[in-house]
Structure 1
């Protein structure tokens, strides 16, 4: 678009240059047809007028086309003169071209230097400067021609002085004829302005024709008649019309002079007389018209000024009347405002007090009486500062009042507390204003307008507390803790000391919350916060970052030894018994410590390091202290890599389900399969859940993994039924997070519906430790699962203290003996007695008893003799991939026995309470 615009602009410029050159060349051809007694001089050189007008209108942009046109005109002139004397062609061309160029350029330069850009037709001084410039420029243009004539003068040729005058008047006539007309047409471009008096134009044309006829008798006498004719046009026509008439009359006069005079026979002095007469008449009439135009402009300006002054006087009269009316209204308004001000002063809810330089009370409104408890009479002449302002704020308020009184400051603001008569305290925002009377002798007073912002300040303090502190424990929140940590780190870096960040997490807090309830958990956190406050200094900061996670900032500690001393005191204080409604509770915590700037120089790095140290403390058995080390960061990087790889495994199908058969202890028939998750890692091989479930739980992928296991187990369960002649139940393990998810039942119902599995072929194994003591909520969850037709298996039966209660109140179909009890039962009589009791209890409640992880013949024999219904373990069959189940069922159908052939029963000694020697 820009390129197109530049092309259009360049095209317009070229067109303008072409028209300029064409106009000048056309006038040059006309002028060459009017020669004088000297063949290089015309009667009137018209291109000078057009060139000067273009220079005045367009400035230096017109120089190039003008010179080009004059160059061509010079060539034409030389071509015509070469017929008489070809040997002088170059001299003639140089003299002619120089003369043609000097006339407009010199006139333009002289006029610009003299008038500084003034319009030559705007006033008479401008036109006088134009006449002077034309005169000087014409003289300059005559010099080259005169010099050429002097160099080539011969006997009988035209005298040099006459050549000079002929050239001078030729350029002067041409310029004066064309230039004012072009300028006037640009100033008044409408053609209608030329002929707005048609009758006078007709009469004027008739007069011109009469003078033309008179030239047939005597040219010189007839030229004198042009003066009244041109004067008529200059006084009656518009500016452009006058210039048009003068130009036409000049052209006619020049034509008559040329036609009536033979250049070869007449003398040059005769031509000079005619040119002089025409120049004088034309110049005078042009000057008269410009003078009249200037007079009209001045008259119009004067009339405009008079009209404006008249309007101003009228407006002033109106304003004076308005001012008188306004003053009357102002007096009424002042009286009314005084009444309103008095009512406002007395009835406003803001206390308003007027005091003098000594802060003695001079005025006191009703709101001040209500706030302070003093009547107006009791308050007057009392000192405001000494009576109502607290001692620590008196100096500041006195300084504010003095500043308003003694400086140019007219108002100020301050917030203070005030004491009322009844002893209550309020927070007041005072606007302090100077009360200046019109009478300078009247002492200056101060008016204090108060606003009770006690409730606002209290609300702001509460908002500030909520934004920076934990409401439950009255410790700093994450935002305030981060700010103080950044300040402590900056101070440590600047002064070269240490600061430490301690991350603390209560061990098994969720179990406490679930067991004792959230109210007891909140009381426990409050007690924990109090113990932490008692074991750190005032300059240290304790923060609750969320849940049971606390952080402690230690300022200026003595290295790792100082940190360990503080952390040890905290650890010991936390382990002291806590009283709860049901008795006493002993809690432990895991503590991670990191030092700045040794371990990091930013808050984010320190918090991350402290968290890693705390998790290391948990993995080390809890209730201990761990300092951050670089290998923790490497372990965290490994966990992050494992997290990333686990996401890719889910996305790329690297997960698989393995199945371990559950067999009947008597017949050896496969009655069920337990689905076990495996990960076919591309570099580490086959991974069991213990290798990656912790990472999945920490990164929030456990629910996604659990849903994948449920969905694929249900899909493969349908295929398994086709492999076995009898129905096979597929069981899956539920983690704590899966079991406690509020949408567990709805998700399983959706998966069963999507896979079209008979729900009786699906069983869920729930760890006894997952079930909380809130049996009502647990019973509702299990009942919802039971209504879906899913089998329920209590896993690790006997690992907790609530086994009997769970069997009695929850709808389980099967129990699975804890593998720790199973491994100890063949060799420990007490454990054997417990297992016998658990199995007998389950059988009495009509529950199926199963045992997993049966590895040895002793374990096999013991569980069989104890009455276990189902058994599972590597002794019978290891976990198989889903692709190997078909082969297993084929082998079983062909007679393969999963029960080992070396079955035997060891005699077991039953527990006798009276026997103390076992």
Structure 2
């Protein structure tokens, strides 16, 4: 190049000399043209060489990128400004089941959850437009599967009018997530049975003890010790197979509302929380323990019994312990005493409770016999109007004159009755006896207002419930308007359409419908409005502390005012003192019942009670005059 330039300069200088100007003009011009053409050819050769090198470099890069797309274990995608797929790795195409030509302008199914209910499309677009980059975990979901990925998306520098473009790279973390979940599960679950481990059980027991109050004062613990009777030397050392079998059997026997956990070795535990450990909890716990024992004493198809034996110890706070360790220790010691028996057995930590334990089966047998023979009786508690000082109705309450135990109120036997299903027969017996009594009162002029009856959720759900009520009313020639049916919140577990139709049918018959224990459960304003209730009965737990606690007074006043807005009658029950009656009356609750006015009395005493009422009213009139 330097030589060519020097020759060109000399030639130009020569051509510029006057002596040769005319002679060599044509030769010089030709030479100049040749030189220029040489320069252009050289430039062209250089350009072609550069383009060739660039083409080879681009080809190598393209091959490397295609190789990366084909061999990468993760997913790679090129996305346009609308996050539509323009190119993708082989692994991603395989997951999406798309061909090379069909990847163009197809959406990438990225979601925030495995169910695919929350799309990330708008979130990603917003973040990328603002920052040009996004990192995070997503779910790639198709019709066939859903897998978790950790991805990064970066904007690519481009001068294209169609830009920007984005490069996505991601790694599958589904297996890592599963490993982490299993690791977390091992921290709270027993590895063999997958039941909660002792740490979780003790923490739940601690929380349950902290939640105890005046309304729900007790927590109960069952400690279950398993023995394999086929092992002569160490019956408590069960094989993994036996333990798994026992865990499955316990899960089938124990309702999900109780917490079942595995303790060390062949031991298990059950937590009965405060709201399920109410008064007469001995009966409930006794019944649950016998259910578990019965489940382990069953025979198989060949008539052979399982060699597993179960021994149950039961402790109840606060008598058997006020903290986690003492309550568990009491239950474990009781299980140890039960294990001294040859067969499966239970033992209460408290000696007084233990004396009642063997009586449960006999109690069930007596209940069935008494129900079959119609030996149950009805007592009647009057409802008083505070403003008029008169009886405005009665509530029928069941009593059981047990041949062995004497006259028993419902709390002493209702848990057993409800668990066995005997409650349906008793409800029907109660309604027949109530109809018979109302018929007599009408004939003798003793009927006052309406008679209220408690209807169990089991009876309410029976297919022939409405037909039974109609037939019984027709048998005694009575109208449904003489009765109030008190329904518990358990009925709200039924489908709304079915429940509304059943309640409307009862209302069309003439029954008044009352929501029982209002203020204690889950009933809401919506439920009170959408179902045809005529009134509510305040929960006894609200009334109990209305004198001492301002909060309870505020709650009662609010509920009474709410019922008034909905045009619902309000009844307060369990009134024990004059002050309770006064406060509730001031709040707007006129109809009340409880021991402050009268206990539940047998039917034959109703006439005398009404006579006393008339005498009292006459005396008041005379004093007023």
Normalising to structure 2: TM-score of the pair? Answer: 0.48
| Between structures 1 and 2, the one with greater strand share | 2
Normalising to structure 1: TM-score of the pair? Answer: 0.34
- Greater relative contact order: 1 or 2 (C-alpha under 8 angstroms, separation 6 or more)? 2
Larger gyration radius, structure 1 or structure 2: 1
